[in-house]
């Protein structure tokens, strides 16, 4: 397929860049700025129906932190719109002033006014809070955000490799294991925390890079979601599980570190991770990326394995564009275009803005809402912003 | 549709009964007796691929208890095959001797040799253990099983309405609520515990009947899965959630109690619950029962809402047949036939036996395995056994 791909010239890159910027600034961001603000309590409504109406007032911690991060980032790097900064601050304040629990923990879900509904025995709400604080420290220039971000990160790091510290019990029959999610998200946090100086936390970065690599199976050209503590393969459904979107996201996190650190070996490995995960995860029959696969071809246990979700496609867009910006290989450009064509013809909702989140295997919308417990102002705007920024750079180089 | 339905005569009932008995005894039960026994540790392999091969050695507590109950029931009521009784005893012994935790708790999942992998902060593994013990007390005539069943039931009852007692934390923002699952399963446990004497536990039965009724909305002709403690409606996605298969199952649990207690009002209500839940849950476009719906027409949050799962269809088969045996209404017979035709043409696997568990909205198989963490030797054989037994009775009456 790649053989017939025509590589883009300056005009094509510019047209693409304009489409991404338009989608970001005229469809996606306005959906969230218009419909999500909660003027009474601060923070954001997360459960937004197709047209932006609130169908549930429960708020979700992952998405509060992520949206605050995204809006602060757009304020600082795209356009200093007062509205974006104020809304970013509103989300961070909501988490800090209404939701924060003893010891720096945060709920997964909360009432409109911030009372905990459910606290996950995981570390992710806290991770996304670190992202928000780190970006707000730059967007506002206020040093206390940086300090709070670092303090929260130190806590997250202290919990990250032993979840009994966040209340997860340990049982005698459990298999010791490592999840790709943990070193991945930590690499992303450190990148955001150390925007100015990549050498800070360098021991932590090296450890996370080592841990991510434990999941890579070069001989099989795949990335396992869960492995033994020493990187060995677990003989179970969990040990065979592939999460292509996750691996693709890990790939571009790694690539950004490779670029920051000037490491060609790491860059090459990151490119392979993205290619292998995409090629294996792509549905040859209906197009799009599967949510989950089994490395040995069994049926994956998650019921949604064959659904096509917004976020793996958003991650693939940026991952392929980033790979191509380095390799200039037509096969990477073809993967980018294939994802772009498939995703842009199915996910966006021109009538009300933003993207649908959930499609069936054939690419038909199964859930009409734009925001829910796991979908908010994050993967779509982040990918559009990252792609737009990279396209602008590529355009300038031509 | 019901207008053109031809009610069955004796020959049709007999043919149907033979089909159900053949499916039970020549396809479904042999799949489990052939592939599930673990001769080393006792109990059953639960993760069985399409052909019965074990794809994961993790065992699942719900399914250990359920399979032990089913096999003991078949031994006592269908055919005194030594193999069935021994296998039932093997599952009960596995739970008691290898899995039981302090205080009568049981793991949700365990290693092949019974070490806890995960303990749910719910009561269901223990419920299915009660079922197994109760049926084994009758199948073996050994009084200690009855005693153990009652002791475990007393513990389950003491936990059932306050899950902080099984380790579920309570958070300040949580909405007090009741789940249909709890009074439903308790009614089923008491039915099995009191096979000989329906008057035992009569206060508990009345309380469960009252609690199930809190979920029924006569004016809207629907059954809500989750309600406020006083039966009020919760204004949230959770409060609007419909689980048609669950409500249909609750309907026949209620109907069996109505028959045992000779209560016409309860019988009428049970018939309505089954009809409303089925009519609302049926997919007019592709046929089959949806997993979840939202009472106000929003997209349900669960990703699998539009999938067609084995168990709601199995429950509907028996629920409609039981309703029709009482009403002799052509509309109930039509619902039974519609479910029978749709389910039998999609779920069974004639090549390897048993039924597939998971179909997409269109009715195509999405997961090839026959056994997994939530699917085992239970809903399909139970429905086939119940229908076969009722058809035999109806046939004799003609």
Helix and strand totals (H; E) in chain B: 14, 14
Q: Is the dihedral of CA A320, A325, A328, A330 positive or negative?
A: positive
E strand map for chain B: 47-48, 54-56, 59-60, 109-110, 116-118, 178-179, 216-217, 222-223, 226-227, 241-242, 293-294, 308-309, 358-359, 365-367
| pLDDT (tens digit per residue) in B340-349 | 999 999 999 9
Q: Is A164 on the interface with B (CB under 8 A)?
A: no
Mean pLDDT computed over A133-138: 98
| B308 strand-pairing partners | B359
Contact residues, A window 287-306, toward B, CB-based 8 Å cutoff: 298-301, 303-306
Q: Is B121 on the interface with A (CB under 8 A)?
A: no
pLDDT at A398: 81
How close does chain B come to A71, measured CA to CA in Å? 26
Q: Which residues of B touch A56 (CB under 8 A)?
A: 236-237
Mean pLDDT computed over A370-385: 98
Confidence band of A70 (pLDDT split at 50, 70, 90): very high
Mark yes or no for CB contact A237/B55 under 8 Å. Answer: yes
| pLDDT (tens digit per residue) in A208-255 | 999 999 999 999 999 999 999 999 999 999 999 999 999 999 999 999
Mark yes or no for CB contact B173/A117 under 8 Å. Answer: yes
pLDDT at B384: 98
Q: Which residues of B touch A360 (CB under 8 A)?
A: 306, 360-361
* Nearest-by-Cβ selection for B304 from A114, A303, A372: A303
Q: How many Cβ pairs within 8 Å bridge chains A and B?
A: 105
pLDDT at B315: 98
Share in percent of chain A as helix, strand, coil (round to 5): 55, 10, 35
Mark yes or no for CB contact B172/A237 under 8 Å. Answer: no
Rg (CA), chain A: 20
Q: Which residues of B touch A177 (CB under 8 A)?
A: none
Q: Cα separation of A176 and A230, whole Å?
A: 10
pLDDT at A69: 98
Q: Is B102 on the interface with A (CB under 8 A)?
A: no
Mean pLDDT computed over B241-249: 98
Q: Is A284 on the interface with B (CB under 8 A)?
A: no
Contacts with A152 (C-beta within 8 Å, 6 or more apart), sequence order: A104, A126, A129, A130, A133
What is the longest distance spanned by two Cα atoms in chain A? 61
The torsion of the CA quartet A319, A322, A323, A329, rounded to 10 degrees, works out to 120
Mark yes or no for CB contact B298/A55 under 8 Å. Answer: yes
Mark yes or no for CB contact B110/A173 under 8 Å. Answer: yes
Torsions phi, psi for A117 (to 5 deg): -100, -45
Extract the tokens encoding B212.
């199930």
In this predicted structure, the answer to whether residue A314 has a pLDDT above a threshold of 80 is yes
Mean pLDDT computed over B101-117: 98
pLDDT at B7: 87
Contact residues, A window 335-354, toward B, CB-based 8 Å cutoff: none
DSSP 3-state of B365: strand
Confidence band of B381 (pLDDT split at 50, 70, 90): very high
How close does chain B come to A357, measured CA to CA in Å? 10
% of chain A residues with pLDDT over 70: 99
| Cα angle: B310, vertex B132, B52; to 5 degrees | 45
In this predicted structure, the answer to whether residue B3 has a pLDDT above a threshold of 90 is no
In this predicted structure, the answer to whether residue B2 has a pLDDT above a threshold of 60 is no
Q: Is A117 on the interface with B (CB under 8 A)?
A: yes
Mean pLDDT computed over B293-297: 98
Q: Which residues of A touch B372 (CB under 8 A)?
A: 301
Confidence band of B6 (pLDDT split at 50, 70, 90): confident
Q: Is B170 on the interface with A (CB under 8 A)?
A: no
Contacts with B395 (C-beta within 8 Å, 6 or more apart), sequence order: B10, B13, B14, B17
In this predicted structure, the answer to whether residue B1 has a pLDDT above a threshold of 80 is no
Q: Which residues of B touch A236 (CB under 8 A)?
A: 56-58
Mean pLDDT of chain B: 97
Mean pLDDT computed over A323-347: 98
Torsions phi, psi for A335 (to 5 deg): -60, -40
Residue A291 to residues A311, A316, A360, A376, B20: CA-CA distances in angstroms? 10, 13, 11, 18, 37
| pLDDT (tens digit per residue) in A347-358 | 999 999 999 999
Contact residues, A window 17-46, toward B, CB-based 8 Å cutoff: none
Mean pLDDT of chain A: 97
Mark yes or no for CB contact B171/A119 under 8 Å. Answer: yes
Residue A27 to residues A21, A369, B285, B349: CA-CA distances in angstroms? 10, 15, 32, 47
Q: Cα separation of A398 and A389, whole Å?
A: 15
Mutate to test the interface with A, among B299, B304, B312 (most CBs of A within 10 A): B299
How close does chain B come to A149, measured CA to CA in Å? 26
Mean pLDDT computed over A159-173: 97
- The whole-model pTM stands at 0.97
Helix and strand totals (H; E) in chain A: 14, 14
DSSP 3-state of A242: strand
Mark yes or no for CB contact A305/B366 under 8 Å. Answer: yes
Q: Cα separation of B257 and B229, whole Å?
A: 23
**Cβ B322 vs Cβ B252: under 8 Å:** yes
pLDDT at B184: 98
Residue A338 CB neighbour total at 10 angstroms? 19
What is the longest distance spanned by two Cα atoms in chain B? 61
DSSP 3-state of B398: coil
In this predicted structure, the answer to whether residue A3 has a pLDDT above a threshold of 70 is no
Residues A341-346: contacts with CB under 8 Å, at least 24 apart: A342/A287, A342/A288, A342/A313, A343/A288, A343/A313, A343/A314, A343/A317, A344/A19, A344/A23, A346/A288, A346/A308
């Amino acid at each position: 397929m790649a053989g017939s791909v025509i590589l883009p010239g300056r005009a094509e890159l510019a047209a693409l860049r304009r489409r991404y910027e338009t989608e970001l600034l005229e469809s996606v961001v306005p959906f969230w700025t218009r419909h999500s603000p909660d003027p009474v309590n601060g923070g954001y409504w997360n459960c937004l129906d197709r047209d932006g109406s609130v169908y549930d007032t429960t708020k979700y911690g992952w998405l509060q932190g992520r949206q605050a991060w995204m809006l602060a980032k757009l304020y600082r790097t795209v356009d200093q719109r007062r509205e974006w900064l104020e809304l970013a601050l509103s989300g961070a304040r909501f988490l800090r002033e209404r939701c924060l629990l003893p010891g720096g923990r945060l709920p997964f879900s909360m009432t409109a006014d911030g009372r905990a509904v459910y606290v996950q025995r995981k570390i992710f709400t806290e991770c996304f809070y670190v992202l928000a604080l780190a970006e707000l420290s730059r967007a506002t220039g206020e040093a206390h955000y940086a300090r709070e971000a670092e303090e929260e990160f130190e806590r997250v790091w202290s919990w990250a490799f032993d979840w009994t510290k966040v209340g997860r019990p340990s049982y005698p029959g459990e298999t010791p294991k490592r999840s790709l999610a943990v070193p991945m998200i930590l690499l992303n946090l450190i990148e955001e925390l150390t925007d100015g100086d990549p050498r800070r936390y360098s021991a932590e970065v090296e450890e996370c890079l080592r841990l991510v690599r434990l999941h890579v199976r070069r001989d099989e050209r795949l990335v396992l979601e869960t492995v033994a503590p020493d990187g060995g393969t677990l003989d179970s459904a969990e040990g065979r599980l592939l999460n292509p979107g996750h691996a693709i996201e890990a790939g571009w996190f790694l690539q950004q570190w490779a670029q920051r650190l000037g490491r060609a070996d790491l860059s090459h490995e990151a490119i392979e991770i993205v290619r292998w995960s995409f090629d294996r995860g792509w549905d040859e029959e209906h197009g799009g990326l599967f949510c989950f696969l089994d490395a040995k071809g069994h049926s994956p246990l998650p019921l949604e394995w064959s659904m096509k979700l917004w976020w793996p496609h958003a991650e693939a867009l940026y991952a392929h564009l980033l790979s191509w910006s380095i390799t200039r290989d037509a096969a990477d450009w073809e993967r980018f275009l294939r994802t772009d064509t498939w995703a842009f013809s199915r996910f966006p909702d021109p009538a009300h803005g933003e993207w649908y989140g959930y499609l069936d295997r054939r690419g038909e919308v199964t859930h009409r809402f734009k925001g829910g417990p796991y979908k908010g102002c994050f993967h779509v705007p982040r990918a559009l912003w990252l792609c737009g920024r990279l396209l602008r750079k590529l355009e300038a180089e031509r």
